[in-house]
Amino acid sequence: MNKLNRKLLTTLGLGWLGFGIVGSAIAFALPPTQVTILIDRSFCPQDKWQAIASAYGDLYQQHQNRDVQIKEVVVFGDLGQEVLSGLPSPDTVRSLNTYGRSNQERQKQLQNSYPQAKLLSCQSP
């Protein structure tokens, strides 16, 4: 290999190495936004529940694309609350049953407990 080819390969190699280091530093310094999803399971007409499931599906896709990091999913209603284990699929959320009345007190408590939460509810505007 002549001297010119060796310099060219060295320059290209160092350039790609530098590019990789800068990209890694940016990914480390600017991690994706972490969010907790609160899902109100109070009674909801089927068409509105499908809209909630679709909104969750959009957030789930953003999580898959690593644009957002979903920390946990909390499902709540008038009878209690539950932190779902793992990250449920959009189909799992779509198949949840809705029941009871909306509990605004519990909703406020959860929103205070999870300040970076995204609320999915029939009652939200």
- pLDDT value of position 58: 95
Domain hosting residue 17, numbered range: 1-30
* Rounded distance between C-alpha atoms, residue 92 and residue 13, angstroms: 47
Structure tokens belonging to residue 111: 């929103």
- Our count of domains for the chain comes to 2
- pLDDT value of position 49: 92
The answer to the question of residue 125 being in a domain is no
Question: Whole-prediction pTM value?
Answer: 0.74
> Is residue 61 very low, low, confident or very high in pLDDT (cuts 50, 70, 90)?
very high
Q: Looking at the structure, do residues 100 and 113 belong to the same domain, yes or no? A: yes
Q: Looking at the structure, do residues 45 and 105 belong to the same domain, yes or no? A: yes
Q: What is the pLDDT of residues 89-124, one digit of tens each?
A: 999 999 988 888 888 899 999 999 998 899 999 875
Structure tokens belonging to residue 55: 């909104």
Q: Edge-to-edge strand order for the sheet containing 80-84?
A: 80-84, 68-77, 33-40, 117-120
CB–CB of 72/15 below 8 Å? no
At position 19, the amino acid (one-letter code) is F
What H or E segment, with its residue span, contains residue 107?
A: helix 104-113
